[in-house]
Amino acid sequence: MADFSEQFSEISELLQRGKAKDIVVSVQKTLDGGAPPGEILEKALMAGMDIVGGKFKRNEVFVPEVLIAARAMNKATETLKPYLAKEGINPVGKAIICTVKGDLHDIGKNLVKMMIEGKGIEVEDLGVDCDTQKVVDKVKEGDAKVLCLSALLTTTMTAQKDVIDALTSAGVRDKVKIMVGGAPVTQSFADEIGADAYTVDAASAAEVCRTFYG
Ligand code: B1M
């Protein structure tokens, strides 16, 4: 089996340095060389972002550096997208996704979206810092079977509960299955707020989401 560890370290380095153009070239070259897209995602991109996250925590890098690393991550995952999304040509149904009110983190959400699309599900992306009322209005439109809520901050995970409560008050809670996730979210928090599913990562989110379409 081919060893891509050198290419993975190069991609991880480029991500940490926020080299958006170079990372796209490097990811494409590694794909063309036969590396599995899922491994590029996990062993190069997510590994690189973990290093950035650790440095951010220890105050070794600051918001601007993290932002340019995030931009490089998003560019790289766009390059991977067609390779990850092999399954499904005709959408089996629709889902809605957003990062909740007050929260600007979108990398995990974008990955979850990409993986769900890979299961042949059309995903409407309401973006980041999404107003609770906007989510309720979208659910009322009624064509989505699943609602995916991402939150990365301990201060914003409670906005997942706000959405569920607002849907209940509007009488539309049962129109959708609600999936929650994001680093601070746990199964017990999901149970406590009345979500239908919690998953730890994007791949399992896609697996579970697909089960809601029969
Ligand atoms: Co922020 N940030 N950030 N940040 N940031 C974290 C989350 C933090 C853990 C860093 C740290 O201190 N170590 C910390 C949160 C602490 C806490 O609440 N416990 C933090 C903080 C404090 C902040 C600010 C408050 C910093 C400040 O301003 N002082 C600020 C808040 C801004 C806001 O949102 N209002 C802030 C800002 C930012 C940037 C804008 C600079 C940037 C975001 C850029 C962007 O997203 N476009 C940023 C980043 C990049 C990070 C870290 C470094 C990386 C996050 C990430 O993208 N990870 C992060 C540290 C870390 O996580 N190591 C950090 C990669 C991504 C693939 O993982 O999003 O976890 P993740 O997604 C995973 C799973 O969680 C899951 O699937 C994905 C993987 O498969 N998942 C789901 C996600 N959503 C899901 C939904 C599902 C299922 C699974 O179902 C629906």
Q: What is the pLDDT of residues 171-195, one digit of tens each?
A: 999 999 999 999 999 999 999 999 9
User: What is the bridge-based pairing of β-strands 93-99 and 121-125?
Assistant: parallel
Geometric angle at alpha carbon 112, from 104 and 65, rounded to 5°: 40
pLDDT score of 88 = 42
Nearest atom (ligand 1) to Cα of 154: 18
Assess whether pLDDT exceeds 50 at residue 87. no
User: How do the residues of the chain divide into helix, strand and coil, expressed in percent and rounded to 5?
Assistant: 55, 10, 30
Which residue lies with its CA nearest to atom 46 of ligand 1?
105
Return d(Cα 23, Cα 11) in angstroms, integer: 6
**Contact status, residue 35 vs residue 93, Cβ threshold 8 Å:** no
pLDDT score of 203 = 78
b/e burial code for range 163-176 (CB count within 10 A of at least 16 → b): bbebbeeeebbebb
Which residue lies with its CA nearest to atom 67 of ligand 1?
108
Nearest atom (ligand 1) to Cα of 183: 75
Assess whether pLDDT exceeds 60 at residue 113. yes
Which residue lies with its CA nearest to atom 64 of ligand 1?
53
pLDDT score of 91 = 67
Q: What is the band of 94 on the pLDDT scale with cuts at 50, 70, 90?
A: very high
- The average pLDDT across 100-121 equals 89
Nearest atom (ligand 1) to Cα of 203: 80
Which residue lies with its CA nearest to atom 86 of ligand 1?
181
Quickly tell me which residue has 């991609």 as its tokens.
11
The DSSP string of 157-208 is THHHHHHHHHHHHTT-GGGSEEEEESTT--HHHHHHHT-SEE-SSHHHHHHH
Pair of tokens at residue 13: 């380095």
Ligand 1: centre distance to CA 158 (Å): 15
How many C-beta atoms lie closer than 10 Å to residue 107's C-beta? 20
How high does pLDDT run on average in the chain? Answer: 92
